[in-house]
Amino acid sequence: VCKIIVNIENGMIKKYWGNYDEFMLQHEQNAKQYAESYERQQREIKKMEDYIARNKARAATAGMANSRKKMLDRIDVMQKPISFEKPTFSFPYTLLVTKHLLEVKNLQVGYDGKAILPPISFEMESTTKLWLRGTNGLGKTTILKTIMKRLPAIGGSFNFNINSKINYIEQDLAFPSREINAMSYMSMRHPKMSQKEARTQLAKVGIRSDMATKSLSTLSGGEQVRVKLCSLMQTPSNLLILDEPTNHLDTLSKEALAEALDAYDGAYILVSHEPKYAEALCNDIFDLEK
């Protein structure tokens, strides 16, 4: 729906006219031109530096070397292009030999003993991709927290297959401490993982080495989500429970997550307010309505 896009990149703010597809075409051309200009300038700088180094000590050429040095000092040096590469997500699958995965029967969820929804019943098989749909405040997160035993059930029951292996990402991005960094978080969650492997895995999801050692509180919401997803990628599962995983993600990251979910052999429950995104991924819908 947008007709003007303002892009922040390489220390510059640039305005693009047109919709997102037109922006991508223009941006790709501009990025290529910027990279070529940067390389050209770097070659010129290197050439001048070599000339100065060779000639500054000789009396006959010291004047020319000094002149080149002044020219070099006046150059407005371009920043090295920083490109955000599309992250790679993948969720390892552990086989569930039976079709039955989850049965929810007359489940009542809520707080302080008071139900916020009528009794809920649904079933999931080993290949069900369920979209839990509804407007804000109806209780989607409460349902997930209840079946994950983060909240007590008020009534009814839910039963997972005994061989189910569940990976869960919460909406609120809770960490043990927001002052730890991504490397520390990976070490806490996966103590057998080496520092080198942790860096490699974080790099796959776009958390570069400089970001991996910064306090989580200084990372953006999207970067924090990618750290969480990186941790999920280290443990095989046959059921993913994803509460608004795309909330903070940029376009490329959302595309990468969709590709990973599409390739996942297990089941998942997805809470999402993006209809096109969820419809493309899910084969079943559970609607919550007032």
Instruction: Give the mean pLDDT of 61-74.
Output: 88
- The average confidence (pLDDT) of the chain is 92
| pLDDT-wise least confident of 55-59, 150-154, 196-200, 242-246 | 55-59
Length of the chain: 290
Q: What is the DSSP letter of 192?
A: T
Among 95, 52, 84, which Cα is nearest to 222's? Answer: 84
Whether 53 shows a pLDDT value over 80: the answer reads yes
Lowest mean pLDDT among 65-74, 138-147, 194-203: 65-74
Of residues 125, 86, 140, the one with CA closest to residue 268: 125
Across the range 128-149, mean pLDDT stands at 94
Q: Give the global pTM.
A: 0.80
Among 249, 187, 205, residue whose Cα is nearest residue 196: 187
CA 132 to each of CA 143, 270, 272, 278, 282: distance values in angstroms, whole numbers, following the listed order: 10, 6, 7, 9, 10
Contact call for residues 6 and 14 (beta carbons, < 8 A): yes
Token digits for 127?
A: 């290949």
Q: Is the pLDDT of residue 11 over 80?
A: no
